[in-house]
Each structure stands twice: as structure tokens, then as C-alpha cells.
């Protein structure tokens, strides 16, 4: 499914399929999963019997069969609308699942034998731990890890992004997803999933809702709704002797209608749709949630663990300035820094060349074509150029260049340590430049903080979420970056086990923790966190440990995912408030109208001045039915979330949805009453 389709709220196909599914879900075996709506369907079944046998319970009154039939039709429509709301929510996921299923093809796979012999087999025959060869144009048969080669892979079938990604053996970009296509070069892959259990298979199952389980909060709310239903059932049963004592005749269909109007049918009909839509909003954001519980947990997150590199900063250190030591000019330092980087194809090397050119320093690159380039390694921590005349130009870590110069008999400038310390305090990385035994100065490499993060972290603080940055940098650099980005706390020189310790510490204080990661060393922390967001470009271990996978591999996406989780909880709370307020209003609409004839004093409570008891019942039933589809857009899109204190958020929702839910029935029922009264008179039901 492309991104344009993902952003569509509804389509003709989704609505058509939802209507069909809504009828299919009328099956009592399915409806019993939603107890509130099951009661409504049970009421519809009883009124259907009463339509056929109107006097089965000894009911009396004019046109009972027609009245019972009208109540039956409205109750059936109410159940249908509730099923339709759920089906619309499921429809978007099923549409995306259908799109994904088209990518799951039975293709040929090149199975490698022990002597690298190639055997062509069906992709369905490839088993876990098999080694396969994929070349340009081949579809990858199943999930796996790259063990040899480097190639670009088209993952648009899963991510929706057309730009291919680079996959290579080793590191955090070795994970490969079945169903994607190799664009260039070749890869040897060790298969890590059995047929039918690939990431694509799991993704299809999740987005179409087949494996959706109710979340703890949803189950708790459902229990409350069932309890309210039982309470109102007792109230309705006790109402019958009171009515008989007062001389008011209430037939069975009216009692059923009264029960349906008073139980929380609105939220009962929308509850499942809200949960499904919450997962769908995450999916449309190109994040696969392994369960609804994961999305819901996002809404309760109070601490967020963030990596520095790639999440808070861009990760590519860029040259920002040149700091010469005493007796060396800035131009001289810049020139030799440029020469040392002519053949350096790393992002840092290219940025040094670009900065030197901006400062109007340039050299004739042809003069250095035959020179030996010394590549940077983790062991030497320096790189540079050996000129034809025997000159050694180097740039690298301060201690590494110091040792290099000392070996040549050079002297370390007195102000060098002050310069490197100054750069570290600025949050940068010092890169010392030397020519033979002389140190010329320091290149200031800056890992730039991503724009807009300060505002986003402010939003998180307004939500009551604490941010903790974890980095392998020294404390000076970490403190500077943390201050610039606006995070609340930081952990410097952080190792994988330190992340787990931070998460456990926060959890012991009763907080829910979210974090992102992509490497195998992140897997334990992702598993420990309440919300673990793994990058799709990361390792299999990371994706298996997490409960969410970001298909776009954007570590900052955790910020938006948390907001979606908050929105899910707020939407559920807001519509629950609206539903309960609705029930209070409907009570004042129906009860006075029913008892007014026998107890004239009840007219004081008949605020809406409804025409008759039957008019009141039918108007309330109609309103009860049509309010469900009217609220579907809110359930699907979610209530707009604005970061604020919990008390203010509660007050805002009570004011808007509580007061709105109280007023809407008075207006709606009165309008319906005016509209249907002439029809009821024609049918002799008024």
C-alpha cells in the first residue's frame, strides 16, 4: 500500500467490505465478545419474537406488533452500526494486509550447498539456517542475516519508500526481510525464519487484526461497562413493580428499549474500533506494533531512553572550525588538514575538504595522486597521507597523534591540551593535525543536534515524560550535547549493560520506560523496556526483542509513537465520558415521559416536552443508534492531543465531552421527536 492510500480515512472498497462484515458479525458467537452489544442484540431477538407473538408476555396496548417491530428494527440497526464501526477500523488494516500479501510470492531460491553448489528450489522449501544466494533482480525468499557481500535492497513493498537501502555482512545492517528485492550486487544470506513465520507474515497478521488481543485497559473498561449494564438491568427489573404500583403500563419491548438506552451502548459499540484504530494510526506511521498493549503502553510512558548518535544528533561528525596552536597560522593548519583529507571518503574527511574550500583554501589534487593514503583504523585512530618527498601528514585522536609525534622526536605544544579540552566542552570531537614531528593544531568536528528537538523535548516535558540520553562520549561532550538538545538527564560512557541498569532503575520507581535500538547489543535493553522500538534496518535480535518495529528506521519516531499512544488513551477516555453523560441525559428524556400520565408531578422533569411515552422511547432509541456512526470519525482519527498537565487534560475532556455528551441528547432527541411524531400519529403509535 503506497503512502497516499495509507492516509485515506475511508475508501469505497473499505466501506463496502465493512457493510458486509457488519452483517457477518451479527453472529451471536461473535457478539458475545462484546457483552454490552450482545445485550442489545439479545434485546433485538426478544423484540423480534414479540413482533411475531405480541401478547406472549401478556402485554396490552394498541398496535403492539407494529411498535415491537419498530423497536426491533432500531435495535438491530444499533448493533449493525457498532459492528460497522469495528469493521471500518479493521478495513484499513485488511486493505494494507492485502497489499502486503501480493508481495508474498512463491519464487525460486538459490540454495547453496556445502561446496557452494547452487540448487534451485521453491522459496517455500527454504528452511531455517539454510544458506541462499541472492543476486540483482532476485526476490529474497525469507528473513535472514547477511553473511557475505554488500548490496542495495529495494524494501518499498514493506516500507513504502522507493529509495533502496544498503545491506552488508556484520554490524547493524545485516538483517534482511523476506519479500524484498535485491537491486545490485549479491548477498549470501543465512535464513533465520521458517516458512510462514517471517516478519512479513507476522506483519500481515498484525495489520489485518487477526492476532489483535484486547489490552489490559480495554479489558478493565469492558469490565466496568458490563458492571454498569448489570446495574441498569437490576434497575429496569425493579422499575416494573414500581410502574405497576403507579398504574403505568410498561410492555416488554419498552423495558428492553429503556435498558438499551440506559446502558453504555455508545462506548460499548466503539470500544473495539478505538483500539483497532489506535494500532492502525501507528501502522500508517510505518511502525508495526506487535500488540495493542504496546501501543497502549506508549500512552503511559513516563521515561524515554534515547541514543545520542542518530537519534539526538545526525551521527556524522562534520568539520566546524580549525584551531591552530601557537606560532601556526590558521591558513597553514587548514591547508594541511585539507591535504590529509583529499583521499578520505568518510563523512568527516569530506566535511574537512568542504570547510577548507569555504575558507578559500585549495590545493591541486593532481599533485597528490601518487601519494600513499593511510586509512583510519580502530587500532591506530589516525589517517593521513605520505607524500612522495617523505613528508608524513596525519590527523586523528589527540593521544594517537601525540604518540606518533613523540616517536619522530617532536615536542607537544603547550596549548594543545587546552584546545582539545575546549572543543570537548563545546560537545565536539577534537582531531589533531601533524606534519612529520610538528603538531599544527586541531580540527573541531561537531556532531550536529537535529533541528526541532528542543521543542519536541519541551512537548514531552509537558506530557510529564522525562528524557535520558545515553552515549558513549566522555562526560564533557555528553553534558554539552544534552544541554544543547534539551534532554533532562544523560549517561556518559554508556555501555549496553548500563542501559538496562537505567531502565530497571526507572521501573523500580514505578515508571514505564520507552527506548529505541537497532543492534544486537541493544536487544536486552529493548526487551527490558516497556516500549521497545527496533529499527527495521537493525539486527534480527533487536527486532525480536522489541514490541514495535519502525519500517523507516528513524530513531526519533519514538517521540511521535508516544503521542499516538497518549491519543489512544485520551480518545477512549473522552468517548467513555461522552457515552456516560449521554446515558444521564437519556434518563431525563425517557423516565418523565413514561410516568407523566400517571404521576403529573413528573412533568416537571420532562424538560424536552416529548409528545408521548412511545415517542420518547423511539426518539431516544433512534438517537442511541445514530450517535454511534456519527462518532466513528473521532474513534478512527482520535481526539486531538495537546500536551498539558493531567489535571488540565481531565478538566478539558470533561468540559468538552462530558458537557457535550450531556447536552447532545437533549437537542438530538427533541429534534427526532418533532420529526417522527407526525409519522407515529399516522401509524397510530403516538
67-93 per-position pLDDT tens digit: 899 999 999 999 999 999 888 877 766
Of 138, 154, 201, 307, catalytic: 307
pLDDT confidence of 433, banded at 50, 70, 90?
very high
pLDDT value of position 99: 61
Across the chain, mean pLDDT equals: 82
> Which three cell numbers mark 193?
525464519
- 59 assigned ligand-binding residue: no
3-state class (DSSP) for residue 469: strand
pLDDT value of position 69: 93
1 pLDDT exceeds 50?
no
pLDDT value of position 337: 93
632-667 per-position pLDDT tens digit: 888 888 888 777 666 677 778 778 888 888 889 889
- Total-model pTM: 0.68
273-300 per-position pLDDT tens digit: 888 777 777 877 778 777 777 787 888 8
Length of the chain: 686
579-589 per-position pLDDT tens digit: 988 888 887 77
Q: What is the full DSSP assignment across 70-131?
A: HHHHHHHHHHHHHHHHHHHHHHHHHHHHHHHHTT----EEEEE-TTS-EEEEEGGG--TT-E
210 pLDDT exceeds 60?
no
Break the chain down into helix, strand, coil percent, rounded to 5.
55, 15, 30
369-396 per-position pLDDT tens digit: 889 998 887 678 889 999 988 899 999 9
- 212 assigned ligand-binding residue: no
598-624 per-position pLDDT tens digit: 676 666 666 777 777 788 888 889 999
Neighbours of 620 (CB within 10 A): 29
- 657 assigned ligand-binding residue: no
pLDDT confidence of 6, banded at 50, 70, 90?
very low
pLDDT value of position 597: 57
Percent of the chain past pLDDT 70, that is, above it, reads 87
- 321 assigned ligand-binding residue: no
* Least confident window among 288-297, 449-458, 675-684: 288-297
- 344 assigned ligand-binding residue: yes
484 pLDDT exceeds 80?
yes
CA atoms within a 13 Å half-sphere pointing along the CA-CB vector of 45? 10
515 pLDDT exceeds 60?
yes
What CA dihedral angle connects 435, 441, 442 and 443, to 10 degrees?
-70
174-199 per-position pLDDT tens digit: 777 787 888 888 888 888 877 776 76
525 pLDDT exceeds 90?
no
DSSP 232: H
- 488 assigned ligand-binding residue: no
326 catalytic, yes or no? Answer: no
95 pLDDT exceeds 70?
no
Give the mean model confidence (pLDDT) for residues 243-269. 83
Please give the residue that has the higher pLDDT: either 164 or 9.
164
pLDDT value of position 81: 94
Please give the residue that has the higher pLDDT: either 548 or 309.
548
- 518 assigned ligand-binding residue: yes
User: b vs e for 630-662, b when ≥16 Cβ sit within 10 Å of the residue's Cβ?
Assistant: ebbebbbebbebeeeeeeebeeebeeebbeebb
Residue 442's DSSP bridge partners are 323, 432
- 378 assigned ligand-binding residue: yes
306-348 per-position pLDDT tens digit: 887 767 877 667 898 999 999 899 999 999 999 999 988 887 8
- 383 assigned ligand-binding residue: yes
Please give the residue that has the higher pLDDT: either 110 or 649.
110
119-155 per-position pLDDT tens digit: 888 877 888 888 889 888 888 888 888 888 888 888 7
3-state class (DSSP) for residue 336: helix
Between CA 477 and CA 309 the distance in angstroms is 12
Query: What are the Cα distances from residue 224, in Å, to 228, 428, 578, 579?
Result: 6, 55, 15, 13
- 343 assigned ligand-binding residue: no
> Which three cell numbers mark 565?
499512544
- Highest average pLDDT, of 23-32, 133-142, 486-495, comes from 23-32
pLDDT value of position 336: 93
- 381 assigned ligand-binding residue: yes
pLDDT confidence of 5, banded at 50, 70, 90?
very low
The closest alpha carbon to 303, from 82, 531, 480, belongs to 531
Amino acid at each position: 500500500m503506497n503512502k497516499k492510500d495509507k492516509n485515506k480515512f475511508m475508501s469505497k472498497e473499505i466501506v463496502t467490505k465493512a457493510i458486509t462484515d457488519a452483517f457477518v458479525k451479527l453472529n451471536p458467537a461473535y457478539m458475545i465478545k462484546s457483552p454490552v452489544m450482545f445485550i442489545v442484540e439479545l434485546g433485538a431477538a426478544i423484540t423480534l419474537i414479540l413482533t411475531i407473538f405480541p401478547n406472549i408476555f401478556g402485554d396490552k396496548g394498541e398496535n403492539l406488533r407494529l411498535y415491537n417491530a419498530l423497536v426491533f428494527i432500531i435495535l438491530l440497526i444499533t448493533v449493525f452500526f457498532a459492528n460497522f464501526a469495528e469493521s471500518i477500523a479493521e478495513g484499513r488494516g485488511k486493505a494494507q494486509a492485502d497489499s502486503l500479501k501480493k508481495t508474498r510470492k512463491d519464487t525460486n531460491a538459490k540454495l547453496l550447498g556445502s561446496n557452494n553448489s547452487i540448487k534451485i528450489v521453491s522459496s517455500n522449501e527454504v528452511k531455517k539456517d539454510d544458506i541462499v544466494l541472492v543476486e540483482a533482480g532476485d526476490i529474497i525468499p525469507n528473513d535472514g542475516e547477511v553473511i557475505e557481500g554488500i548490496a542495495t535492497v529495494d524494501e518499498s513493498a514493506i516500507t513504502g519508500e522507493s529509495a533502496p537501502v544498503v545491506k552488508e555482512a556484520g554490524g547493524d545492517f545485516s538483517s534482511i526481510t523476506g519479500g524484498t528485492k535485491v537491486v545490485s550486487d549479491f548477498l549470501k544470506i543465512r535464513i533465520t525464519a521458517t516458512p510462514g513465520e517471517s516478519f512479513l507474515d507476522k506483519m500481515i497478521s498484525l495489520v489485518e487484526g487477526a492476532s489483535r488481543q484486547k489490552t489490559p485497559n480495554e479489558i478493565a473498561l469492558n469490565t466496568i461497562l458490563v458492571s454498569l449494564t448489570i446495574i441498569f438491568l437490576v434497575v429496569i427489573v425493579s422499575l416494573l413493580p414500581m410502574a405497576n404500583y403507579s398504574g403505568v403500563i410498561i410492555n416488554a419491548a419498552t423495558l428492553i428499549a429503556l435498558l438499551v438506552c440506559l446502558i453504555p451502548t455508545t462506548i460499548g459499540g466503539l470500544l473495539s474500533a478505538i483500539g483497532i484504530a489506535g494500532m492502525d494510526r501507528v501502522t500508517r506511521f510505518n511502525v508495526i506494533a506487535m500488540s495493542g498493549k504496546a501501543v497502549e503502553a506508549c500512552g503511559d510512558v513516563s521515561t524515554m531512553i534515547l541514543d545520542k548518535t542518530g537519534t539526538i544528533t545526525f551521527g556524522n561528525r562534520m568539520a566546524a572550525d580549525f584551531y591552530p596552536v601557537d606560532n601556526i597560522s590558521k591558513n597553514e593548519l587548514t591547508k594541511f588538514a585539507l591535504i590529509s583529507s583529499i583521499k578520505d571518503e568518510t563523512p568527516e574527511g569530506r566535511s574537512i575538504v568542504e570547510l577548507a574550500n569555504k575558507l578559500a583554501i585549495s590545493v591541486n589534487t593532481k599533485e597528490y595522486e601518487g601519494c600513499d593514503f593511510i586509512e583510519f583504523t580502530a587500532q591506530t585512530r589516525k589517517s593521513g597521507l605520505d607524500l612522495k618527498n617523505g613528508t608524513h601528514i596525519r590527523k586523528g585522536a589527540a593521544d594517537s597523534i601525540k604518540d606518533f609525534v613523540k616517536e619522530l622526536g617532536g615536542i607537544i605544544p603547550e596549548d594543545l591540551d587546552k584546545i582539545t579540552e575546549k572543543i570537548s566542552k563545546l560537545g565536539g570531537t577534537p582531531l589533531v593535525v601533524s606534519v612529520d614531528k610538528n603538531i599544527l593544531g586541531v580540527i573541531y568536528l561537531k556532531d550536529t543536534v537535529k533541528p526541532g528537538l528542543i521543542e519536541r523535548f519541551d512537548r514531552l516535558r509537558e506530557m510529564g515524560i522525562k528524557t535520558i540520553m545515553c552515549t558513549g562520549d566522555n562526560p564533557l561532550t555528553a553534558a554539552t550535547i544534552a544541554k544543547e538538545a534539551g534532554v533532562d538527564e544523560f549517561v556518559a560512557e554508556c555501555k549496553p549493560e548500563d542501559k538496562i541498569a537505567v531502565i530497571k532503575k526507572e521501573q523500580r520507581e514505578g515508571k514505564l520506560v520507552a527506548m529505541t535500538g537497532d543492534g544486537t547489543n541493544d536487544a536486552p535493553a529493548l526487551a527490558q523496556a516497556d516500549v521497545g522500538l527496533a529499527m527495521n534496518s537493525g539486527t534480527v535480535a533487536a527486532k525480536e526483542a522489541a514490541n514495535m518495529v519502525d519500517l523507516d528506521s528513524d530513531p526519533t519516531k519514538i517521540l511521535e509513537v508516544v503521542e499516538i499512544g497518549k491519543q489512544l488513551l485520551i480518545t477512549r477516555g473522552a468517548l467513555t465520558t461522552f457515552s456516560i453523560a449521554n446515558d444521564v441525559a437519556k434518563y431525563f428524556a425517557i423516565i418523565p415521559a413514561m410516568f407523566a400520565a400517571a404521576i403529573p408531578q413528573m412533568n416537571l422533569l420532562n424538560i424536552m416536552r416529548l409528545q408521548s411515552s412511545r415517542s420518547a422511547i423511539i426518539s431516544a432509541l433512534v438517537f442511541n443508534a445514530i450517535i454511534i456512526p456519527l462518532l466513528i470519525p473521532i474513534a478512527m482519527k482520535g481526539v486531538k492531543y495537546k500536551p498539558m498537565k493531567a489535571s488540565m487534560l481531565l478538566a478539558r475532556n470533561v468540559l468538552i465531552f462530558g458537557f457535550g455528551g450531556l447536552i447532545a441528547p437533549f437537542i438530538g432527541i427533541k429534534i427526532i421527536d418533532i420529526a417522527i411524531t407526525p409519522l407515529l400519529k399516522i401509524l397510530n403509535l403516538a
